[in-house]
Amino acid sequence: MDNTTDQAVRKPQFLGIHTKNTVLKIAQALEFMLRIFFFCLSKNIKVVNVHTLSLLPLGVILKLIKPSVLIYNIHELETEKLGWSNFRKSVTKMVERIFIKYVDRTIVVSPSIARWYADKYRIQPTIILNATHPHKQHRNMQKVIDRFQIPHDTTVFVYAGSLTTGRGIEKLINAFGQINSCEKIIIFLGYGDYYQKIAESQKYYKNIYLHPPAPFDELPVAIQGAHFGFALIEKVCLSYYYSLPTKLFDYISAGIPIICSNMPELHRLVQKNQIGIVIDDLSVHRIREVVQSVDQNTSRRYAKNVGKIQSVYSWKNEEKKIFEIYDSIL
């Protein structure tokens, strides 16, 4: 944090092209870190806020050169990411163990991740949920329903977020494809690896729709009016297993009941507040059964409970924790 200005500065990258080449990715990372390092040398810094493990060493260097407070504000379990090999996990855990000793405050996004860091490093992280701002009920989904000419007595399910591995996308496509009825339809809002497959699926199935992704700050407004939102996180890595994904709070902000997988934090939040259904067996058969067992009346019953907790799981509450942290260290 530079106390001479309150404006954000985004540093460009000469090598800022998308690539899967490992050598080029390393070069990009080094170039980015050098740019940030030299930019910060001339600044009067009181707080260094790092959001990924890859930048933690740089954060420590800046903390030591510019005596300041170092905040490690991470958005997932950094050493247990999807697709990482055991070797890479071992290396990153070693790096994190070395550098986290210099961190003044650690911020995580779920109680399970907080317990993991407490057990591993004997620290007490602050939990700040990925909650969203509360939104007035505009029911913008009605525009989407009208656009796709969906009958008004149809039960509308929505998946909002990244269309990537480990989120139950393919199982949802197969489950709704087997139903193939206009009484139960699903609308995917997002982009990712499964985008093209969903685009192809909507040509063959009358109850599968693809909508362009909405800006993250507008997503709760965009999906208002749907009857259920899916959060079928799969146990493909420990980071996913312990997660409390942003889409969960997008659904709550939009007033939508949730159908989720049986991950610890998802199960706890949904069951505790009675705001939806937890699926124990994340199979196509079971997903289809749950979809066929609910309707608009079921949604209305759960939606009453969603309305009761919207002010609880709100960014207004979470941002207070951030202000408290900065007030205590500045």
Q: Does some domain include residue 179?
A: yes
Q: Does some domain include residue 240?
A: yes
What's the pLDDT score for residue 146?
66
What's the pLDDT score for residue 167?
95
d(CA 6, CA 9): 9
Q: Are residues 35 and 61 in the same domain?
A: yes
What's the pLDDT score for residue 1?
41
Q: Are residues 255 and 274 in the same domain?
A: yes
Q: Are residues 155 and 297 in the same domain?
A: yes
What's the pLDDT score for residue 153?
87
Q: Are residues 163 and 230 in the same domain?
A: yes
Q: Where are the alpha helices (DSSP H) in the chain?
A: 22-41, 56-65, 86-99, 111-121, 141-147, 169-179, 195-204, 219-223, 238-241, 246-254, 264-273, 284-293, 296-309, 315-329
Neighbours of 114 (CB within 10 A): 19
Q: Does some domain include residue 258?
A: yes
* Contact yes or no for 123/106 (Cβ under 8 A): yes
What's the pLDDT score for residue 141?
60
Q: Does some domain include residue 11?
A: no
Q: Are residues 174 and 301 in the same domain?
A: yes
Q: Does some domain include residue 9?
A: no
Q: Are residues 165 and 275 in the same domain?
A: yes
Q: Does some domain include residue 16?
A: no
Please state, for a pLDDT cut of 90, what percent of the chain lies above it. Answer: 68
Nearest to 75 by CA among 217, 239, 237: 239
* Contact yes or no for 167/196 (Cβ under 8 A): no
CATH number of the domain encompassing residue 220: 3.40.50.2000
Q: Are residues 179 and 303 in the same domain?
A: yes
Q: Are residues 207 and 259 in the same domain?
A: yes
* Contact yes or no for 33/52 (Cβ under 8 A): no
Q: Does some domain include residue 13?
A: no
Q: Are residues 164 and 125 in the same domain?
A: no
What's the pLDDT score for residue 145?
66
User: Which residues of the chain register pLDDT less than 50?
Assistant: 1-5
Give the residue numbers spanning the domain of 28.
22-131+317-329
Q: Are residues 250 and 108 in the same domain?
A: no
Q: Does some domain include residue 4?
A: no
Q: Are residues 162 and 300 in the same domain?
A: yes
Number of domains in the chain: 2
Q: What is the DSSP string of 174-235?
A: HHHHHH--TTEEEEEE--STTHHHHHHHHHH-TTEEEEPPPPTTTHHHHHTT-SEEEE----
d(CA 131, CA 188): 21
Q: Are residues 262 and 172 in the same domain?
A: yes
pLDDT in tens, 84-109: 889 989 999 999 999 999 999 999 99
